[in-house]
Amino acid sequence: MPLLRDIKGFFPPFWITLRNMFRKPVTVQYPEQKPELPERYRARLVLTRDPDGEERCVACHLCSGACPVDCISMQAAEADNGRRYAAWFRINFTRCIFCGLCTEACPTLAIQVTSDFELSGRDPLKLVYEKEDLLVDHCGKNVEYSFYRQTGIGVAAPRGGNPNESAPVDVKDLLP
Amino acid sequence: MTEQLIMLALILIKLVLVFAVVLSMAAYLVLAERKLLARMQLRYGPNRAGPGGMIQPLADVIKLLTKEDFIPATADRGLFLLAPGLSALTALLTFAVIPFGPTLELFGQKLPMVVCDLNIGLLYFLALSSLAGYGLALGGWASNSKYSLLGSIRGLSQLISYELAMGLSVVPVVMMAKSFSLTDIVMAQAQIPFALLNPPAFLIFLISIFAESKRTPFDLPEAENELVAGFHTEYSGMRFGLFFVGEYINMVILSSMLTVLFLGGWHGPWLPGIAWFMIKVLAICFLFIWVRGSLPRLRYDQLMNFGWKVLMPLALLNVLITGACLLGMG
Amino acid sequence: MPTLTIDNQQVTVEDGTTVLEAAEQLGIVIPHFCYHKALGAVGACRMCAVTVHEGTFKGLKMSCLIKVEEGMVVTTDDAKSVVFRERVSEWLMLNHPHDCPVCDEGGECQLQEMTIASGHGVRRYEGQKRTYNNQQLGPFIAQEMNRCIQCYRCVRTYKDYCGGKDFGVMGSRNRVFFGRFKDGPLESDFSGNIVDACPTGVFTDKTFRFKSRFWDLQEAPSICPHCSLGCSTVPAGRYGELQRVRSSVNEKVNGFFICDRGRFGSSYANHPERPRQASRGQWKLTRDEALVQLDSKVRELIRQHGPEAVLLLGSNRASLETNWMLQRWAEKIGCRAPLLSAHLPRHLAAQVAAFDLADRLASLEKIRQSDLVVLLGVDPLAEAPMLAVALRQAVKKGGQVLAYDPRSIELPCVFEQQSMSPLQLLELLDQDKSPESGRLLDLLKKAESPVLVPGGDLLGAGGLLRVQKLAVVASNQTRSCLVHPVLAGPNSFGCGLLSLPEQDDLLTQLESGRIKMLVCVETDPLLEAPNGERFAKALSRLEELAVLDYLPTLISAHTKLFIPTSAPVEAAGTFVNNEGRQQLFVPVMEPRLPIAVTGSGSHPPREFLPEAPGSDPRPAWQLLQQLLGEEVELAQLRERMKTAVPRLIDFDKLQPGGVFCRVSDADERSCYADEISAQPAGSLQLVVSPARYGSDLLSRFSEKLKPRFTDACLQLHPQDAAERGLDDGMKVALKTDCGEYYLTLRCVEGVATGCAVVENGPAFPQLVPGGKLGFCQVAAGGRHD
């Protein structure tokens, strides 16, 4: 009997809402009461450094390519030692939706999320962070990884001197 | 001469009082609805403006008045400006015929607790509630936006469908009270409210006023998740405010009508008449809010089916049966 | 025309097609590295494996090497070939470093794409990776050999296709190395093509190093504005900066490659001194104010001094639309028809090409297939570099290349050069005056598809008319002898096409004193016409001088009224190339100051502006429309232009980035009276040749090309030098009609006797190529400064 079923189904919601009215609300009264955030909470982004204290970011544009709202922009440049780095790096937090896709795309673990979510203000420009504002003095969540030791080009160590590499070949050697 | 002056003064005072009470009721209904809904959803609701959020309505009014009054470039300007006023006005006017208490004796004058006791009060109510459709139709049409237009088309067809059932459901009341005057109808319920005498008519009327007030589960004209905000999508500031206030005044009025027609108006033991009236009206307002918190929205075809294939025949049948019973009882 | 089945789809293709190409026609992409349409297949990478079920050779085969057969059945997605390709990919990746984030190829890397496509993900081999030491290959190409997958495409492009000699492959087994014998800049003028050819990041564009990722670039099909060939290119810009140019495909013109001048000569658009705001002297104006001033001044002068007082000057750098709108504007204000070139001899040559030669023009594709190409006063590497590559293809196919030229020319192929002074060259073309004429005519008549390639600059209009007569004589019923004239600028042909009766020389007009005002549109007579000094004098006498340009030329720095226009990469337009091909280009980016400039190297300025700084320039045709008061869409403008100039092709039929069509043949003929002045005794014939880099203004203002600019010198045949008692390396004085210049002498065997060759370039801009036949005296001495 669909009609009977419908009529039976009509009443429980009223009971549930009525019951809820006498329960304690779950709302956290935010400014006075601070919320407890999960460990992997995604909020403000930072640029970390590698274990040697150098900037991890190589300005590869993968984060800006992954960013669904186009809030990351940068310009790559080359340092004297061959290191590729970001000449400038800008995250517009008025646009950022804290999806964390940039951190997943980052091949050098440079860009990482922190749990600092209190980003609001009346001046939008104060939410446009430049590299100076983003760069931190620690390794963030991984304290061992150094991209330039894995790349296979001679920046962190001379060519052929990185782990799992043989020394440069002698191209004029014709021995079998 | 002085009697007439006193009479006039009393009528004016009555008018101002009714006006003030209805408007502030509408304002605080908004707050009450937000608070109650919040509690039903395990939230607090507005609690920042004033103690427990008590001056939230005032804050809302200030906000609405200071907002930009935006008129879309392609809107039909005249109608666009007219529509919200029409919506609030028709709602307010209806209150003229609603008796909210027994006749009072003051300065030797008999003072009926109704702004104007029309002998065709019920028809006046039905007429004005139909007129309210204009506010909605014009608002949606003048905005020149697809969401608004869809909203107002839905609203109009819904209004027409449910007005029929509503009109038919009050026929037994008229038959039982033998009068169109609302005061007489209340008087006829001195012993036993019509809700108990004729429960089908009461239920049909109850359902119809939910549809008439465009509230859940019949809030299709402004279904947020389909039509943004339905017919008032393009409205902002106090013009939106007028639509909003109109809706809540309408809620008060429809609750009052239900009280008057079926719940015996101001009749009740121990307490003064006016208090009973208020208690009944507020209880029905709570019901409105409770239903909104509990029921989901109907689909449009379900709404139409229900109106034309269930409510209408039921109401007609009820008229017949009531007529037969009255005839049989002589 | 065999029909075969690939992955259950039937396709009918030409004989000799490979399975890979047939699959491509069906839209099935078979992964590949070593196969390239222009270079062919070598079967080195083993990536394109497919399974052949029916056919002469059954089983797993390399699709780039297997020719199609009737009734062949091939699958590309069967388990066997899929697994094989995945293994190949894994093996190619064994030594490939994990440096994609710091590799410029990342994002447009064929290796990345094919590895993903083949399904290889995790490296299972745990041994050590092979590494190389890199070479310094000069200012244009960066090398990172660790990334190499040995597909040999670079060598095949650089050496086999473009004829470079200083780059190759060495080493053995898995130590194979692609590079030069020792460090040093790549010498070929087509070195940039290995960047496009390399499927991974071994060779990358050094001038583009770390500038952008492919997906951030604004790209659009364009036409190279550096010479008259009109190669298809894809320039790319980002943040207001034109960052690189890569070659596009136009099989009728450049094929798949472009020269280094076109590739690395693009930074004129971001020249630091490029004027980006309208100005009157020191005063900055808005664009609209400047246009109002220009309009009112023109009208005022015409009212005061009559229609002769104002002269408009078009240019072969400007698009067809601009030049045509200039003519419309002249009609409207009632002044005389605009001159479409400041350089009359070059313009006359272009007119001859556009009218007299119109029915026998040859495309570069025809040259690549020709069995006899005769260069008549053309140095391809200097005037039209991709012509040299086309000649190499002709020679590789068994063709013959003959060059008659006063200069010592180089070509990336085997050819026969006859040194000949310009006067001798004209005699050769006159057919009966020179003994060589008979041999040439014989060869032409015997050849199956001969093409004459005359140089407009050296031969002039008179020479081109002689070439036309020669072509008529060399033609027969079965085939006609085609001509591929090399002209001066990207739109020389178009300017000639638009202006038949116009014959006036700008300088004569200016010096007559009747002209009160000159409006130069995208041209600088001081740099682009002979007799710059006389021009300077004449220009200073003008009451008003207005310049619309996008380059920081001499004249735009000293003009009274300046209005900025957008560079070809920032505007839409049409160029008609030297063989009459009407080619469209579309804007790549908006004109604006690069962020690197506004942010002075650091982050972009932190301010909100309604418009980016420096975004004032507009296409010249748009400015002219504004002056005319008829601002219509480009499509409508083109429709009107097509109606007015019936020889043009309907613009609806052309697609930017396509192969385009040649304009239709002409009924009219140019009216040119030839006069050859007699050679004064003891004088030498002056040959002004464009330098390979920096002769055209666009490459002269390109920062990136600076390393290729050469020093100015005077070239003489050793015999002539000896007669005058001059030695190699001496400072000598060159006396010409235009003035006296002091240059270093170089004795070159290949230079024709009786000729003095100077190169017009950034180091020596005074003499401009393509002037009338001139004579000069060369003497020892000169200042040592």
- DSSP state at residue C208: G
* H helix or E strand, kind and range, residue A66: helix A62-66
Neighboring chain A residues of B290 at a CB cutoff of 8 Å: 14, 17-18
Question: Any idea which residue has 């064994």 for tokens?
Answer: C94
- DSSP state at residue C363: -
Give the tens place of pLDDT for each residue, A86-128.
999 999 999 999 999 999 999 999 999 998 888 888 888 899 9
pLDDT at residue number C502: 65
Question: Which residue of B lies nearest to A12 if distances are taken between CA atoms?
Answer: B294
Instruction: Return the C-alpha torsion angle C381, C386, C391, C392, nearest 10.
Output: 90
Does the beta-carbon distance from A17 to B294 stay under 8 Å? yes
- Cα(C480)–Cα(C748) distance, integer angstroms: 37
Neighboring chain A residues of B44 at a CB cutoff of 8 Å: 25, 27, 29
Question: Any idea which residue has 């040697």 for tokens?
Answer: A52
Give the tens place of pLDDT for each residue, B113-123.
777 778 888 88
Helix (H, G, I), strand (E, B) or coil at C237: strand
pLDDT at residue number A69: 94
- Cα(C74)–Cα(B142) distance, integer angstroms: 65
Is residue A9 domain-resident? Answer: no
* CATH code for the domain in which residue A113 is found: 3.30.70.3270
Could you tell me if B283 lies within 8 Å of chain A, comparing CB atoms? Answer: no
ipTM of the complex: 0.86
- Cα(C179)–Cα(A61) distance, integer angstroms: 29
Instruction: For residue C79, give both structure tokens.
Output: 């388990």
Q: What structural domains and CATH numbers belong to chain C?
A: 3-92 (3.10.20.740), 131-270 (no CATH), 279-347+494-662 (3.40.50.740), 362-484 (3.40.228.10), 684-780 (2.40.40.20)
Residue from the list A10, A23, A27 with its beta carbon closest to the beta carbon of B44: A27
Does the beta-carbon distance from C98 to A150 stay under 8 Å? yes
Kindly give the pairing relationship between strand B109-113 and strand C3-6: unpaired
Neighboring chain B residues of A20 at a CB cutoff of 8 Å: 39-42
* H helix or E strand, kind and range, residue C324: helix C320-333
HSE, side-chain direction, 13 A CA sphere, residue C395 = 19
Count of domains observed in chain B: 1
- Cα(C659)–Cα(C485) distance, integer angstroms: 19
Provide the terminal-to-terminal Cα distance of chain A, rounded to the nearest Å: 87
Could you tell me if C181 lies within 8 Å of chain A, comparing CB atoms? Answer: no
Give the tens place of pLDDT for each residue, A3-35.
889 888 888 999 999 999 899 888 888 888 888
Instruction: For residue C332, give both structure tokens.
Output: 């409207």
pLDDT at residue number B74: 83
Q: How far is CA C547 from CA C271, C461, C483, C520, C564, in A?
A: 18, 28, 36, 5, 8
Count CB pairs under 8 A between chains A and B: 33
Q: Are C246 and C208 a contacting pair, CB within 8 Å? A: no
- Cα(B254)–Cα(B129) distance, integer angstroms: 9
- Cα(C154)–Cα(C39) distance, integer angstroms: 10
Question: Any idea which residue has 């014709």 for tokens?
Answer: A174
Arithmetic mean of pLDDT, A35-40: 86
- Sequence-separated (6 or more) residues with CB below 8 Å from residue B288: B210, B213, B215, B251, B255
Identify the bridge partners of residue C455 per DSSP, sorted by sequence position.
C486
Residue C119, sorted as left (phi over 0), alpha (psi -120 to 50) or beta, turns out to be: left
- Concatenate the DSSP letters of all residues of C610-654 into one string: SS-TT---B-HHHHHHHHHT----HHHHHHHHHHHSTTSPPGGG-
pLDDT at residue number C785: 47
Q: Smallest Cα–Cα separation from C759: which of C712, C697, C709, C694?
A: C712
Could you tell me if B43 lies within 8 Å of chain A, comparing CB atoms? Answer: yes
Residue A41 distance to chain C (closest CA, Å): 27
- Cα(C326)–Cα(C317) distance, integer angstroms: 14
Does the beta-carbon distance from B42 to A23 stay under 8 Å? yes
Q: Smallest Cα–Cα separation from C132: which of C180, C167, C178, C186?
A: C178
Q: Are B97 and B114 a contacting pair, CB within 8 Å? A: yes
- Sequence-separated (6 or more) residues with CB below 8 Å from residue B15: B115
- Cα(B148)–Cα(B161) distance, integer angstroms: 20
- Cα(A96)–Cα(A101) distance, integer angstroms: 11
Give the tens place of pLDDT for each residue, A127-171.
999 999 999 999 988 888 888 888 878 788 888 888 888 889 888
Identify the bridge partners of residue C416 per DSSP, sorted by sequence position.
C402
State the alpha helices, DSSP H only, in chain B.
2-40, 56-66, 77-94, 121-143, 146-177, 182-188, 194-197, 199-212, 224-227, 237-262, 273-294, 300-305, 312-329
Mutate to test the interface with A, among C103, C108, C131 (most CBs of A within 10 A): C131
Task: For residue B279, give its domain range.
Answer: 2-329
Instruction: For residue C33, give both structure tokens.
Output: 């590295």
Q: Are C745 and C738 a contacting pair, CB within 8 Å? A: no
Is residue A45 domain-resident? Answer: yes
Neighboring chain A residues of B295 at a CB cutoff of 8 Å: 10, 13
Does the beta-carbon distance from A26 to B43 stay under 8 Å? yes
Question: Which residue of A lies nearest to C596 if distances are taken between CA atoms?
Answer: A75
Q: Are C162 and C257 a contacting pair, CB within 8 Å? A: yes
Residue A24 distance to chain B (closest CA, Å): 7
Identify how many contiguous H helices and E strands chain C contains and give both numbers: 25, 34
- Cα(B244)–Cα(B240) distance, integer angstroms: 6
Is residue A22 domain-resident? Answer: no
**Which chains pack against A, by 3+ Cβ pairs within 8 A?**
B, C
- Concatenate the DSSP letters of all residues of B41-68 into one string: TT---S-SSSGGGTTHHHHHHHHHHHS-
- Cα(C384)–Cα(C489) distance, integer angstroms: 10
Q: What is the mean pLDDT for each group of 10 consecutive residues in chain C (785 residues)?
A: 91 92 92 89 89 91 92 92 93 90 91 89 88 92 92 92 92 89 92 93 93 93 94 94 93 92 92 92 91 93 90 92 93 88 90 90 94 93 94 94 93 92 89 82 92 92 90 91 93 89 77 89 89 85 91 87 93 93 94 90 86 91 92 92 92 90 84 76 89 91 91 91 88 87 90 91 89 85 58
Does the beta-carbon distance from A152 to C128 stay under 8 Å? no
Question: Any idea which residue has 């995208």 for tokens?
Answer: C522
State the alpha helices, DSSP H only, in C475-561.
492-498, 506-511, 525-528, 532-540, 554-558
Question: Any idea which residue has 């590869």 for tokens?
Answer: A60
* H helix or E strand, kind and range, residue C49: strand C49-54
Instruction: Supply the pTM of this predicted model.
Output: 0.80
Instruction: Return the ∠ at Cα C490 (arms to C489 and C491), rounded to 5°.
Output: 95
Q: Hey, what amino acid is at B204?
A: I
- Cα(C318)–Cα(C621) distance, integer angstroms: 9
Asked if A touches C (at least 3 Cβ pairs < 8 angstroms), the answer reads yes
- DSSP state at residue C665: P
Does the beta-carbon distance from B290 to A18 stay under 8 Å? yes
Question: Any idea which residue has 């403000």 for tokens?
Answer: A44
Count of domains observed in chain A: 1
Q: Are B223 and B297 a contacting pair, CB within 8 Å? A: yes
Task: For residue A53, give its domain range.
Answer: 38-140
